[in-house]
Amino acid sequence: MAEFWNSGLTQRSWETLTKLPKQGIRFILIGGWATYLLTRINKSRDIDIVLSSVQELDVLKGKHALSKNDTLKKYQIKIDDVEIDIYAPYYSKLSIPCEDLPKYTQRSEGFTLPKPEAMVILKQQAELERSASPKGLKDRIDIMSLLLYSAVDFQAYYGLTEKYGLKDYPARLKQIVNTFGEGQYLNLNPRELKVRKREVLSRLK
């Protein structure tokens, strides 16, 4: 299977990620690494986390040089040359609010991460914000891997889009499925991809 990011980059990122729980930081893992743990398809070079509470910011400040990005409503730290984007309750603007996200989580390999349908929605937000960039393509690959390789509850997906006023998300999701052609990143040949896409579309309203 083709790798989207350099394997050396992803290995350093993973090693950095595994150190975070040992520092006493309570968080929900989102982004590419959460997608990987749900699907085992495509590792990540970036680390994205949602803090479990506002108080976790004080823990981070005591251990790292924490920078604040008011434009993107997030914090950032760097560990071993790996950048970590940090989203905080009542500050960051995610499609599912940080303070609500704990209601839609599960555990995997010692990490708390969103359930597949919540992860699809978070990935859709990222894809909408950077659709024309290489990271936008990686977002679409991650969305497709979630749809094809994780147990997405589509009824729950639609419920979340309605609850949080994300009325354009289902139509965009169908568009992503219809136009996706990078099967090499999902270990699928063109025929297999076509069949799998048809299966997913049959489950979308």
Q: What is the pLDDT of residue 4?
A: 64
Residue 2 maps to a domain = no
How far is residue 33's CA from residue 48's CA, in Å, rounded to a whole number?
A: 8
Beginning with the edge strand found earlier in the chain, give each strand of the sheet holding 67-69 in spatial order: 67-69, 74-79, 82-87, 47-51, 27-30, 111-114, 105-108
Residue 83 maps to a domain = yes
- Helix (H) / strand (E) element for 56: namely helix 56-61
Please give the distance of CA 88 from its chain centroid, rounded to a whole number.
16
Q: What is the pLDDT of residue 188?
A: 95
How far is residue 170's CA from residue 163's CA, in Å, rounded to a whole number?
A: 13
Q: What is the pLDDT of residue 5?
A: 64
Token pair for 201: 């579309």
pLDDT, mean over the chain: 93
Residue 1 maps to a domain = no
Cα pseudo-dihedral 45, 50, 55, 60, rounded to 10: 0
* Nearest in space to 143 (alpha carbons), one of 167, 169, 162, 163: 169
pTM (global) more than 0.85: yes
Domain hosting 116: range is 7-203
Residue type, 36: Y
Digit-coded pLDDT (tens) for 44-81: 988 999 999 888 898 888 888 999 999 999 999 998 88
The number of distinct structural domains making up the chain is 1
SS3 assignment, position 92 = coil
Residue 89 maps to a domain = yes
Q: What is the CATH number of the domain that holds 26?
A: 3.30.460
Residue 193 maps to a domain = yes
